[in-house]
Amino acid sequence: MTRVRVLALPDGMASSLAITLDALETANQVSLNGGRRAPFEVTTLRTGRATVAFEPGDLLIIPGLGVRSESELLARLATPAVERAAGIAAKARAAGASIAASCASTFILAQAGLLSGRRATTTWWLAPAFRRLHPEVELAADQIVVADWPIATAGAAMAQMDLMLAVIARFASPGLADACARYLLLDQRRSQAPYMAVSFLAGQDALIARAEAWARANIARDFGMDELAAAAGLAPRTFARRLAAVCGLSPVRFAQRIRMEAAERLLETTRLSVDEVARRVGYAEPSTLRRLIRREARRSPAELRRRPHGAGRAATAN
């Protein structure tokens, strides 16, 4: 069982805190319903608490700070409460705990010196400020989640749910993360969910992430799994073992998830025929794509096309 400390910031985003607690409770309940022990022991902390002890294996989660402008951000970062939060984060990491933060709270981790030399993300509209204040951090502002464990960061406000799926996958299992996504009705944004799950997990391993990027760049052709492994710089068997450990997927299912996400996006945002969409994502036979979408998304291509454009997609702004 992972001991989780959720830091409730003064004037922090109530929705971000609620998402954190709800996702962890859902993970525990789904596990208990399946006859397994709850994976998380959750405690909510306040920045005014005098003594906070951390141990190796603990997890500190800092939900979104909640700001509406760069000037407000800078003012909040200088407050005693946020300075204490940075101190708590530094103490947690020094004790061997992992840390996850989203939105503007990623600035707190950078302020604590925890992101120096690491990859991270933040809410997109604060990316210029982040780069200016913290050039020592490799900012991947286009990413929803950067799981550079033992530290993970997420982008704009509602990316807190995406971050929580990555946390559940890391500290419990990919299967439980998928079950929680279904339980919380995240299947309503299926055009994103399979892609995001793969990205979250692949991002935990630099070589798997390299294979993911290569697959997206070569999606229009029918590449082999040996090529995918070579893109990661690994032998096929080693790649398969490493991919299973990181993502809980075989190389074939990994490639299928990537192709399906691209197909769903085309179906939702263009009027291309199913035959043309299939061709663009590497399937010579449209029937193959239809079967894949029905199996993974539980919808037909026509049902995906009828869904309102953007329905169920993750929010990208604070």
Q: Report pLDDT digits (tens) over 238-274.
A: 999 988 777 767 999 899 988 988 888 888 888 899 9
Q: 214-252 as b/e, with b when 16 or more CB fall inside 10 Å?
A: bbeeebeeebebeebbbbbebebeebbebbeebbbbebe
- Asked if residue 186 has pLDDT above 80, the reply is no
Residue linked to tokens 């409770």: 25
State percent of the chain over pLDDT 90. Answer: 57
CA 291/CA 227 separation, integer angstroms = 24
Domains 2-182 and 187-306 share a fold: no
pLDDT at site 118:
94
CATH topology for 2-182?
Answer: Rossmann fold (3.40.50)
HEC profile of 106-152? HHHHHHCCCCCCCEECCCHHHHHHHHHHCCCCEECCCCCEEEECCEE
Q: Report pLDDT digits (tens) over 155-176.
A: 876 789 989 999 999 999 988 9
pTM flag (> 0.75)? no
**3-state SS class at 48:** coil
Cβ neighbourhood burial of 34 (10 Å; 0-12, 13-18, 19+) = exposed
Mean pLDDT of the chain: 86
pLDDT at site 194:
40
- Domain 187-306: what homologous superfamily? Homeodomain-like (1.10.10.60)
Domain boundaries, the chain: 2-182, 187-306
- Asked if residue 45 has pLDDT above 60, the reply is yes
- Asked if residue 19 has pLDDT above 60, the reply is yes
